[in-house]
């Protein structure tokens, strides 16, 4: 998974225009990024990467920037 794929994935799950997604996007910026959407983002990333993330990592993934860091896409 690369940055562009992550941004597209997040925009699809959150049902927002891809132009609304940037590295600085957080769950506080996008109203549709609630707990259910967050878990959908995480589970889709896990499916696509074949990785499982710890509870600590999942809790930290509340911004695109943090997701990029955890996925090592920075």
Question: In terms of C-beta distances under 8 Å and separation of at least 24 residues, what long-range contacts does 52-59 make, across chains too?
Answer: none
Per-residue pLDDT of the chain in tens (74 residues, 90 and over written 9): 899 999 999 999 999 999 999 999 999 999 999 999 999 999 999 999 999 999 999 999 999 999 999 998 75
Q: Would you kindly state where each structural domain of the chain is located, as residue ranges?
A: 3-70
Listed residue (18, 67, 17) closest to 38, CA to CA? 67
Fold of 3-70: 1.10.1200
CA distance 22 to 39: 19
- Model-wide pTM > 0.75: yes
CA distance 14 to 26: 12
- In sequence order, the 6+-apart residues with CB closer than 8 A to the CB of 4 are none
Q: 41 and 32 in contact (C-beta within 8 Å)?
A: no
């Amino acid at each position: 998974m690369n940055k562009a794929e992550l941004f597209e994935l997040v925009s699809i799950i959150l049902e927002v225009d891809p132009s609304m997604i940037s590295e600085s996007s957080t769950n506080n910026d996008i109203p549709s990024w609630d707990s259910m959407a967050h878990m959908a983002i995480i589970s889709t990333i896990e499916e696509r990467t074949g990785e499982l993330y710890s509870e600590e990592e999942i809790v930290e993934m509340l911004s695109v920037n943090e997701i990029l860091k955890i996925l090592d896409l920075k």
